[in-house]
Amino acid sequence: METDMSLISLVARASILVQIVMLILLAASVMSWVVIFLKHKLLKQAQQEALRFEDQFWSGINLSDLYTQVKRRTDSLTGMAKIFESGFSEYVRIHKRGGSNTEMMLAGVQRSMKVSMAREEDRLEANLALLATIGSTSPYIGLFGTVWGIMRSFTALGSVQHASLSMVAPGIAEALIATAMGLFAAIPAVIAYNRYAERVDRIAGAYENFAEEFATILQRQSHHMPEEAAAANEAEA
């Protein structure tokens, strides 16, 4: 009598526990691919927005004019533009209070930009931990299902007098499917995590470099900035 060794048949004949393991791994794989596609879109958008804003910032535009343009799209403000907006807003608030100490002004601006950078980095890093978790745990979950399935197969051999490979092969095959599914869920998640973590680091580095350059510009042009702050105040009014 031939044994049906098709994938669907092996999964259907697996024990309830092994089937639950397979279901968990399938759900983990689906979740990881959803995160992979969404994260790819988010990081690509963040890189493009950073490049566009840097081109605009270094185009020679007046800072108060740039601030006015940025403020018009506050609802969708993210990335480097958000860091600039928070820093220049803090600068405007300081001058509204009559602050004239350059060091205190720069400290306030840098604190404000640091908070915005932390929020932007948190946004970019969201769900990366999920990819890391899936990548690190899926092989072990699959291995658990495999061990359980093989134990079940060999336990069944104890009830027969004459064992053969044909008797144990289907049970071992269905158990090994769990290992294969674990690897299928883990490998893309690990590759994506490493790739996206590196991209997040590069984007975060670009944010930090911009914040330092912007603070340097404010310090260098501090004696001209009251006029720009006044112009920004008028734009906010």
**Residue 2 pLDDT:** 47
CA–CA distances in Å: residue 16 to residues 12, 20, 23, 28, 175: 9, 6, 10, 18, 12
CA 128, 138, 148: angle at the middle one, nearest 5?
165
In which band, very low, low, confident or very high, does the pLDDT at 209 lie, cut at 50, 70 and 90? very high
**Of the listed ranges 2-6, 25-29, 97-101, the one predicted with least confidence:** 2-6
Q: What sign does the dihedral 14-20-21-26 (CA atoms) show?
A: positive
Q: Evaluate whether residue 79 is within a structural domain.
A: yes
Contact (Cβ atoms closer than 8 angstroms) between residue 84 and residue 214: yes
CA–CA distances in Å: residue 176 to residues 11, 27, 157: 10, 18, 18
Tens-place pLDDT, residues 110-157? 899 999 999 999 999 999 999 999 999 999 999 988 888 788 777 766
Contact (Cβ atoms closer than 8 angstroms) between residue 232 and residue 64: yes
CA–CA distances in Å: residue 117 to residues 85, 198, 209, 212, 217: 12, 17, 11, 12, 18
Q: Evaluate whether residue 111 is within a structural domain.
A: yes
In which band, very low, low, confident or very high, does the pLDDT at 176 lie, cut at 50, 70 and 90? confident
Q: Evaluate whether residue 1 is within a structural domain.
A: no
**pLDDT at residue 226 tops 60:** no
The residue among 67 and 219 whose pLDDT is bigger is 67
Which residues does 173 contact at the CB level (< 8 Å), separation at least 6? 5, 10
Range of the domain at 183: 10-236
**pLDDT at residue 94 tops 90:** no
pTM of model > 0.85: no
Domain count, the chain: 1
The DSSP letter of residue 81 is H
In which band, very low, low, confident or very high, does the pLDDT at 71 lie, cut at 50, 70 and 90? confident
Q: Evaluate whether residue 23 is within a structural domain.
A: yes
Q: Evaluate whether residue 4 is within a structural domain.
A: no
**Residue 42 pLDDT:** 93
Average pLDDT over residues 36-43: 94
Contact (Cβ atoms closer than 8 angstroms) between residue 131 and residue 193: yes
In which band, very low, low, confident or very high, does the pLDDT at 4 lie, cut at 50, 70 and 90? low
Q: Evaluate whether residue 44 is within a structural domain.
A: yes
Q: Evaluate whether residue 167 is within a structural domain.
A: yes
Q: Evaluate whether residue 5 is within a structural domain.
A: no
In which band, very low, low, confident or very high, does the pLDDT at 230 lie, cut at 50, 70 and 90? low
Q: What share of the chain is helix, strand, coil (3-state, %, to 5)?
A: 85, 0, 15
